[in-house]
A and B are shown apart, each in its own frame.
Chain A
Amino acid sequence: MLTCRELTELTTDYLERRMPLRDWLRVRVHIAICRGCRTYLAQMKQTIRLLGLLPPEAPPPHARVELLASFRNTHSNTQSPRDITRAGDSATWAR
């Protein structure tokens, strides 16, 4: 029979359903009769859920500003009609 120790090494394979049916059944049978392993598996699931809830940090304000400026640049360099006006302006200034 599967030992508790072995089961703790199979939890990810089990949760990802990446194991032969035979092994999957062995895990099922084990957790049906072993409270410690039921608890262990529940904690693993809680851990995974918790990780998925970790909020990311907000972008620092300077990064926001710089990135928006880069975004504007990218666009004025490629396609924006405003770009043409601006080029015209600087040509006027140059004179």
Chain B
Amino acid sequence: MSITIPALSPSASSPRQDASPATSAAHPEDAALVGRLLAGDEAAFAGLVEQYHGRLVRLALAFVADRATAEEVVQDTWLAMLTGLRSFEGRSGLKTWIFSILTNRAKTRGHREKSSVPFSAFGDGHTAHEPAVAPARFTAAGSWSAAPEPWIDETPETLLLRGEVRTLIERAIAGLPPAQRAVLTLRDVEGVASADVCNILGIRETNQRVLLHRARSRIRAALEQHVRRDRC
């Protein structure tokens, strides 16, 4: 089995610092962790698995059709990560690096299998005309005819404490077109910076923003529908 580790090129906006050592001081905690992993520290690896496994499966599901395949891709990702650890340069941060290995492998897997989701739809702009809010909510002049009602005393935390809201959001994410799902998962769920998301997915910043906007709009709409139904 050949393992390819994607070389994360630094984004155009952040100039590469050639003077930096192999594990850059930009992510000192990553450098320390990588050191422990290279030294064979099992607790360090177990901690990393604990921290990332579920998140990797979640991201993989944007690229492959089913959970079993996602789990396999994640297993592959861990092995690839261990193999490539020595070449980790630290410029992008460990998290971004792991996510990019996953994405690379999940995409390859997705292309190979017929059951995969059509990720090639990426960037073809077929979601570009999808409105953020249903046109029926506006007057002909473009003002609200049915304005959103505030989600009173529903802070995100209290909402999330209700298990059904979590399930609702997870379902809404699962229902997104693959490219939107990948961008939303990386940006909003995992908190990866915009430039890193563009690098990981190999897309342009403007495209990323359009995908993110569509995705967020859909999740908001799903939440709104849920809150409204609750009030009736």
Contact = CB atoms under 8 A, between A and B. Distances in A.
Interface of A: 3-6, 8-9, 11-13, 16, 18, 34-37, 39-40, 42-44, 46-54, 56-60, 63-64, 66-68, 70-72, 74-75, 79-80
Given A50-B156, A53-B160, A44 B42 contact: no
Given A46-B151, A74-B83, A8 B45 contact: no
B132 A56 contact: no
A75 B45 CA distance: 12
A47 B169 CA distance: 9
A39 B54 contact: no
B54 A43 contact: no
Nearest to B53: A59
B201 interface: no
A34 B205 CA distance: 30
A79 B39 CA distance: 9
Contacts of B133: 5, 8, 40
Given A16-B209, A39-B149, A54-B189, A44 B46 contact: no
B116 interface: no
Nearest to A59: B53
Main secondary structure of the interface of A (DSSP, over half): helix
A77 B40 CA distance: 11
Given A53-B160, A67-B75, A48 B216 contact: yes
Contact of A56 (B54, B184, B217): B54
Given A16-B209, A80-B40, A51 B189 contact: yes
Contact of B42 (A4, A46, A47, A71): A71
Contacts of B144: 4, 34, 36-37
Lowest 8 A-B CB distances belong to which pairs? A3-B142, A36-B147, A56-B54, A59-B53, A12-B213, A57-B54, A51-B188, A5-B142
Contacts of A68: 42, 45-46, 49
B3 interface: no
Given A4-B147, A50-B169, A68-B46, 20 more contacts: A5-B131, A5-B133, A8-B133, A8-B217, A9-B213, A11-B132, A11-B216, A16-B209, A35-B147, A40-B133, A44-B220, A46-B223, A48-B216, A51-B189, A52-B189, A54-B169, A54-B170, A56-B53, A57-B58, A70-B82
Contact of B209 (A12, A36, A71, A80): A12
Contacts of B149: 39
B209 A70 contact: no
A41 B191 CA distance: 19
